[in-house]
């Protein structure tokens, strides 16, 4: 076990023999203390205390020039946190009360037995070490708090935390203030980040997005919207905001502020980019944050008018029926599966952005657009092969594939049989 660091002691007493007795008749090193200095009056003691910042001060209460009470008052005024043990030749309750009021840890009557002084100093030293340990733990927690808060919000957004009581307890612990009566989630996404990455250096793009997120969050604060902000990933900023009221007027004000703010922050960037912002419907209680995030994300990725810093409120006409977008995409897929089609082509036809369409299909169907296309093409191929009316290369072309070898490999991967083997089954 490591030996603890020696704590420093400053002795202040106008009696020389008292100072010598405290210093010389006790082996302070054996108790993990050291005498850092001594003074014969309060003024001299105050100067030494300011210079040395001792851990413990043993001081007489009655001294020339400056008594112990005045000394303690000035010590605290100077911002020193030394623990003070007061010595007095007077068994006076008033003195003791005043000393404790001025921040003394203990009050001892002269003459003092060495054992009594040792026990008192050791106890004060124990208190100091415990306080320092707590401070270290607190400082460590303080340093880790931003990452703990971020992880907590991530857990809320992804739905890993849903119990209202647990969420409320963690909000209290992390000192996060939210009005549970009316909350909204706002999601800001950078448009076409993949295309930007092709034309800009990674570092320049990273700096621009960081600046965008910082200025956006600061702008919300300046406009009176105080909430929880988290950079969820490289191009997505999420803000959980308490609303002044759960009304359309309050939402209207928020939309107006977000539109203005989006224009301001993007105009001041070195890179020419636009953003899309989604706003969830208001919800009561922090357990609704997960659902609010999903709504806001859908809104942000809708982008009815790409490239215009769009603000989309989930309850506005057209957005809440997002499953209709998926239906429209599947209708397009079934009508054009025999041609070369992509998610970009489908998105263009149904007037939404490709990223939004990809997200929505994955969210609703649990698979990608390409997986849906392969699945439908193979089903159509199976129907064509059943009648033995077409050769494999003809079926391949009829379901949208140009390469018969690739088609055969894909068919076998999906069904477990080659097209020829499947055809023989009739």
Residues 83/55, Cβ–Cβ less than 8 Å: yes
DSSP one-letter code for 15: -
> Tens of pLDDT along 168-218?
888 888 877 776 678 899 998 887 777 777 777 888 888 888 888 888 889
Residue 115 in tokens: 């054992």
Residue 129 in tokens: 């070490």
**Does one domain contain both 105 and 51?**
yes
**Does one domain contain both 305 and 351?**
no
Q: Determine, yes or no, domain membership for 101.
A: yes
Q: Determine, yes or no, domain membership for 138.
A: no
The length of the chain is 426
Q: Determine, yes or no, domain membership for 154.
A: no
pLDDT score for 234? 64
CA–CA dist 344, 332 (Å, integer): 12
Q: Determine, yes or no, domain membership for 145.
A: no
Mean pLDDT lowest for which of 45-54, 248-257, 391-400, 405-414? 248-257
Q: Determine, yes or no, domain membership for 357.
A: yes
**130 CA to centre of own chain:** 30
DSSP one-letter code for 283: B
Domain count, the chain: 3
pLDDT score for 165? 83
pLDDT score for 180? 60
CA–CA dist 247, 249 (Å, integer): 5
Burial class of residue 68 (count of CB atoms within 10 Å of its CB; 0-12, 13-18, 19+): buried
The residues, ordered by sequence, that sit 6+ positions from 188 with a Cβ below 8 Å of its Cβ are: 213, 216, 236, 237, 238, 239, 262, 275, 276, 277, 300
One-character DSSP codes across 298-344? HHHHH-SSTTS--EEETTSTTTTTHHHHHHHHHHHHHHHTTS---HH
Q: Determine, yes or no, domain membership for 151.
A: no
Supply the pTM of this predicted model: 0.51
Instruction: Provide, for the chain, the percentages of residues in helix, strand and coil under a 3-state DSSP scheme, each rounded to the nearest 5.
Output: 55, 15, 30
Residues 303/310, Cβ–Cβ less than 8 Å: yes
pLDDT score for 312? 58
**Does one domain contain both 105 and 118?**
yes
Positive/negative CA dihedral, 78, 81, 82, 84 = positive
**Does one domain contain both 347 and 386?**
yes
- The domain that contains 67 carries what CATH number? 3.40.50.2300
**Does one domain contain both 175 and 302?**
yes
Burial class of residue 128 (count of CB atoms within 10 Å of its CB; 0-12, 13-18, 19+): middle
**Does one domain contain both 325 and 313?**
no
Mean pLDDT confidence for 23-49: 94
- The domain that contains 253 carries what CATH number? 3.30.70.270
Q: Determine, yes or no, domain membership for 144.
A: no
Residue 119 sits in which domain range? 7-133
Mean pLDDT confidence for 237-245: 85
Last residue of a domain, one of 268, 289, 319: 319
Virtual CA dihedral for 240, 242, 247, 253, nearest 10 degrees?
-70
**Does one domain contain both 179 and 306?**
yes
- The domain that contains 394 carries what CATH number? 1.10.10.60
Virtual CA dihedral for 411, 413, 417, 422, nearest 10 degrees?
-20
CA–CA dist 195, 169 (Å, integer): 43
Residues 282/182, Cβ–Cβ less than 8 Å: yes
**Does one domain contain both 266 and 169?**
yes
Residues 20/13, Cβ–Cβ less than 8 Å: no
Q: Determine, yes or no, domain membership for 149.
A: no
Of the pLDDT bands very low, low, confident and very high (cuts 50, 70, 90), residue 317 is very low
Mean pLDDT confidence for 116-126: 96
Q: Which residue has the higher pLDDT, 404 or 321?
A: 404
**Does one domain contain both 304 and 337?**
no
One-character DSSP codes across 82-136? -EEEEEES---HHHHHHHHHTTEEEEEESSPPHHHHHHHHHHHHHHHHHHHHHHH
**Does one domain contain both 66 and 120?**
yes
| Residue 186 zone, left/alpha/beta (φ > 0; ψ -120 to 50; rest) | beta
Q: Which residue has the higher pLDDT, 159 or 47?
A: 47
Residue 166 in tokens: 């647990």
The residues, ordered by sequence, that sit 6+ positions from 251 with a Cβ below 8 Å of its Cβ are: 184, 243, 279, 282, 313
The residues, ordered by sequence, that sit 6+ positions from 11 with a Cβ below 8 Å of its Cβ are: 19, 22, 23, 35, 37, 38, 39, 58, 59
pLDDT score for 228? 82
**Does one domain contain both 350 and 315?**
no
Where do we find the tokens 């105080």?
Answer: 226
Mean pLDDT lowest for which of 62-76, 113-127, 221-235? 221-235
Q: Give the side-chain half-sphere CA count within 13 A for 101.
A: 8
**Does one domain contain both 69 and 163?**
no
Three-state secondary-structure class, residue 268? coil
Mean pLDDT of the chain: 85
CA–CA dist 183, 229 (Å, integer): 13
């Amino acid at each position: 076990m490591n030996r603890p660091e020696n704590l420093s002691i400053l002795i202040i007493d106008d009696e020389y023999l008292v100072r010598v007795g405290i210093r010389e008749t006790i082996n302070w090193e054996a108790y993990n203390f050291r005498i850092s200095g001594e003074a014969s009056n309060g003024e001299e003691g105050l100067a030494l205390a300011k210079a040395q910042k001792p851990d413990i001060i043993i001081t007489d209460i009655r001294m020339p020039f400056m008594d112990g009470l005045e000394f303690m008052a000035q010590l605290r005024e100077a911002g020193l946190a030394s623990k003070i043990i007061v010595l007095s030749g007077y068994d006076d309750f008033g003195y003791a009360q005043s000393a404790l009021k001025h921040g003394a840890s203990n009050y001892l009557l002269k003459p003092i037995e060495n054992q009594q002084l040792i026990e008192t100093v050791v106890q004060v030293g124990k208190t100091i070490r415990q306080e320092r340990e707590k401070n270290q733990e607190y400082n460590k927690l303080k340093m880790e708090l931003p990452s703990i808060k971020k992880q907590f919000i991530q857990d809320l957004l992804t739905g890993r935390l849903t119990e209202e009581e647990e969420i409320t307890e963690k909000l209290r612990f992390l000192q996060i203030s939210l009005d549970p009566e009316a909350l909204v989630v706002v999601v800001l996404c950078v448009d076409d980040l993949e295309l930007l990455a092709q034309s800009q250096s990674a570092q320049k793009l990273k700096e621009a997005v960081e600046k965008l997120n910082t200025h956006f969050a600061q702008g919300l604060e300046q406009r009176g919207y105080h909430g929880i902000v988290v950079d969820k990933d490289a191009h997505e900023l999420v803000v959980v905001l308490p609303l002044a009221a759960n009304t359309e007027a309050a939402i209207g004000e928020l939309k107006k502020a977000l539109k203005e703010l989006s224009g301001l922050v993007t105009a001041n960037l070195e890179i020419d980019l636009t953003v899309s912002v989604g706003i969830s419907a208001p919800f009561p209680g922090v357990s609704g944050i997960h659902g609010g995030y999903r709504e806001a994300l859908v809104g942000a990725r809708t982008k009815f008018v790409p490239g215009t810093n769009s603000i989309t409120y989930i309850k506005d006409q057209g957005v809440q029926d997002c499953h209709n977008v998926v239906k429209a995409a599947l209708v397009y897929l079934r009508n054009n599966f025999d041609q070369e089609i992509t998610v970009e082509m489908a998105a263009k036809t149904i007037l939404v952005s490709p990223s939004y369409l990809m997200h929505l299909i994955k969210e609703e169907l649990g698979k990608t657009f390409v997986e849906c296309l392969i699945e439908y093409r193979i089903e159509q191929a199976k129907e064509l092969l059943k009648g033995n009316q077409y050769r494999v290369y003809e079926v391949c072309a009829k379901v949208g594939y140009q390469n018969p070898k690739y088609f055969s490999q894909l068919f076998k991967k999906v069904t477990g049989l080659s097209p020829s083997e499947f055809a023989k089954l009739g």
